[in-house]
A and B are shown apart, each in its own frame.
Chain A
Amino acid sequence: MNRSRSTLAVAIVASLGLASCGDGQTSFEVNNDVSKGGTYASTTQLPLLQAMAEAPFTVSYCGERRVEQHLDVDGVPSVTIQREGVCADGSGAFSVRLLDSIQPILGPTELQMLQALQSARAGFLYLERDFRIRDLPLFLQNYAVVTFPGAVDVAGRSCVELEVQRQEGADRRYLLAVDPANGLVLRSREEDLNGQLISLVEFELLQLDPDFTDVEFHPTTPDQPLDLEDPDLAGIHFEFGTPRFLPEGFQLRTTEVVDDASDSSRWVKLAYGDGVEQLFFLHGGPLQRGGMAGNTNARFQDFDQDVVRVLRVGPWSVAQGEVGGQRVITVGKRAEHELLLMLESALP
């Protein structure tokens, strides 16, 4: 999880190479002809981007932030607004706590239940949900960064404004307010190209180098990458396939085995990234029919064989199905056909 300084140095060198030796479409050409008075970031912004990539794990802070999600769920527009507390000790440990649900308003019991659920997935929220530069060279290869003149104030800190958008095939963009002193993204607004808000994470309070006496950090375990060539892959007793097709600019980031307690089955979960966005592929092996009602397998029995169901939730697409007797799932902010191609390419 923590990147060493040497790795980052390599990343910067690689990214400088990308900036200077690309195909003319890299994000680091200075170009003043950008909407809203911004300019494409130049190589002088590389230290800031590097700091942004490191900040979640190297800056010691606590804060409160507003988290909004504007999604279409089951075809119905849904807005949720939460307030959450977040802390990081600057050496890799972090905590995320749901403080309140502003919309919808919840009763005490509902709120406690949600707090318990969110507490259990604090790691996922911190590592996967929030905007983050997860791989700087890949980010530089895939994204264009526009900087804006002047500064904006977020949680009492003077921030620089950046606009981040995929270079090719963009359907969304991120408007960021970044604390230049430490690289923390204090406001991240994700919107579609018409300016429609999709999600917002904004610090309302921020304290640097706080007292962590009362903070309970989320337990983290070091990444243990799987050897995908190993035939006895972590107790996976089925023929496992990896996608041969990936959307442009994505690379494999992490591999893990996920246990499903409901039916004692195991899934291989692969996470791919393009520097910012995440794309997940899960392979659950052959379906064991006749399982208990309500468990994973029973859920899959709702579908015919060789049928893949596609669902859209806001910018997220989900494709799941049983194909050739294998349970497969893909989840990502990509077009439906890309997820389907990815899924099909993993089949034997």
Chain B
Amino acid sequence: MSVHCQQVREAFFGLGETDRAHTGLDGLGEPVARHLRECPACSSLPRRLEAQRDLLEKLDLRSAPAELEGRVVAVFETGHRQDRAVEALQALTPPEVPGELTARLEAGAVAERPALARWIADGPRAPLVLERLVAEEVDDPARTRTRRAMELLDRRAAPGALDRRIARLLRPLARWQRMPRPLVGAAAALLVLLVLPVLRRDRGEPASPTHAYSFRVVRGGSIRDLDPQARRLLEGVTGGALLLNRGNGEPR
């Protein structure tokens, strides 16, 4: 397609449907209309456009999902929610203090109630628990929502079988509790004497997640550190993802 064809095509498709309907090809200007008549490549443009429009008009209209409207509104309104809340709060008229309260305060009720006196001295404050809840909400909204959602879950009763198992497990303990206290004390002392040497001997070995193995475990590193056998296996089972992975901008 020559540059001229490209210009004609852009001009033709750029013209609105109303313009075309009212003006026909003449509305495109004589040079363009002439080109459309004479150029074999472009002469079918009007027909193709009409065909496309006809096809589009034949398509069934689909209704937008019900939640779409709500989502659109939510998206557009989200940015203004805070402003509207502030405006609404500012528009509120402060409630007047009841006359009876004023009279009682003046009558010395404050002196009898230290908490009320502090409240008046410090000014109105939200309860500490409310401040804590707001702080938690701001710090970690997801956690707060999760906690709320969990509070809504039904609490399920434990099955009877569990009660029976717990009772069975606790039965030996109950027998211990019935034993004479001096006897229990002697048994505990004997146990300490037996276990203490073992504990002291083990204290010299560092507690490590790898202590159960006969080798030392080193975690992390790069796939470049892998033996070629291991790397080939990994490349195979990950379908070449490792080959395609670009470290430092270079293909592996």
Question: Interface size of B by Cβ–Cβ distance < 8 Å?
Answer: 34
- Which of the residues B214, B228, B233, B241 comes within 8 Å of A299, measured between beta carbons? B228
- Which of the residues B220, B222, B230, B239 comes within 8 Å of A82, measured between beta carbons? B239
Question: Interface size of A by Cβ–Cβ distance < 8 Å?
Answer: 59
**Residues of B contacting A106 in the complex (Cβ-Cβ under 8 angstroms):** 244, 251
Q: Which of B210, B218, B244 has the most CB of A within 10 A?
A: B244
Additional 13 contacts, C-beta under 8 A, given A78-B241, A104-B251, A311-B219: A71-B238, A73-B223, A73-B242, A82-B239, A129-B239, A199-B239, A260-B228, A303-B218, A311-B226, A313-B238, A316-B238, A318-B226, A336-B219
- Across the interface, name the chain B residue whose C-beta is closest to A115: B240
Q: Check: A215 CB closer than 8 A to any chain B CB.
A: no
* A80-B241, A267-B229 known; A124+B236 contact, CB < 8 A: yes
Q: Check: A273 CB closer than 8 A to any chain B CB.
A: no
Q: Check: A284 CB closer than 8 A to any chain B CB.
A: yes
Q: Which of B223, B234, B237 has the most CB of A within 10 A?
A: B237
**B-binding residues in A (CB < 8 A):** 67, 69, 71, 73-76, 78, 80, 82, 98, 101, 104, 106, 110, 114, 117-118, 121, 124-125, 128-129, 199, 258, 260, 262, 267, 278, 280, 282, 284, 296, 299-300, 302-304, 306-311, 313-314, 316, 318, 320-321, 323-324, 327, 329, 331, 336, 340, 344, 347
Nearest CB in chain A: distance from B243 CB, A: 6
Assess the A309–B218 pair: CB atoms within 8 A: yes
What's the Cα separation between A274 and B142 when bound, in Å?
Answer: 37
Interface residues of A, dominant DSSP: strand
**A-binding residues in B (CB < 8 A):** 210, 213-223, 225-230, 233-247, 251
* A310-B218, A313-B234 known; A71+B229 contact, CB < 8 A: no
Nearest CB in chain A: distance from B244 CB, A: 4
- The 8 A-B residue pairs with the shortest CB-CB distance, nearest first, are A69-B241, A124-B236, A80-B244, A306-B215, A80-B241, A73-B245, A78-B245, A323-B215
**Residues of B contacting A82 in the complex (Cβ-Cβ under 8 angstroms):** 239-240, 244
